[in-house]
Amino acid sequence: MAARDRLTTFHQRGNAAQLSGTDFDRLMLDYFTLLWCFERIEAGRYLLAGRWRKSGPQRYLDRLIRWHVLEWEQSLNKVRRLLEARLDAPLDDRDSRQALARLHRVFLGGRWHMLT
C-alpha cells in the first residue's frame, strides 16, 4: 500500500516543513486514506462480531489486524502532530480516528470478542 509506505517514511523522518506543497497534500490524503481503511475494517469486524461472536472469521481477522492496529494507533498520533504543526491548525479527523481508537482499545484490553 503506497499510502502506508509514504506515511512510514514520513513517520521515521518526521519533517513536514521540508515537504513541497504537492508532497504535503499527498501525505494528508495518505493520512486520511489509512484512517478510512481502519474505519472499514472496524465496520467489518463489528458485523462479524454481531453475527458470529467469537467466530473463526472474526478470530482470523483479529490475528491479521492486531499488530497493525497497535502499531498505527501510535504512529498516526505522531504523524498527526507533524501534519498539524505544518498546517498550524488542528486536523478535522475526530470521526475518522474514533474507529482506530475503538479497535486499539479492543486489542490493548485483550477483549477481542466484541467492539463496544
**Contact call for residues 104 and 69 (beta carbons, < 8 A):** yes
Contacts with 91 (C-beta within 8 Å, 6 or more apart), sequence order: 31, 80, 83, 84
> CA torsion sign, 30 to 31 to 33 to 34?
positive
Whether the CB-CB separation of 78 and 7 falls below 8 Å is answered with: no
Compute the distance between CA of residue 41 and CA of residue 2 in angstroms, rounded to an integer: 18
Average pLDDT along the chain, 116 residues, taken 10 residues at a time? 85 77 91 94 85 74 91 91 90 91 84 40
Domain-wise residue ranges, the chain: 21-108
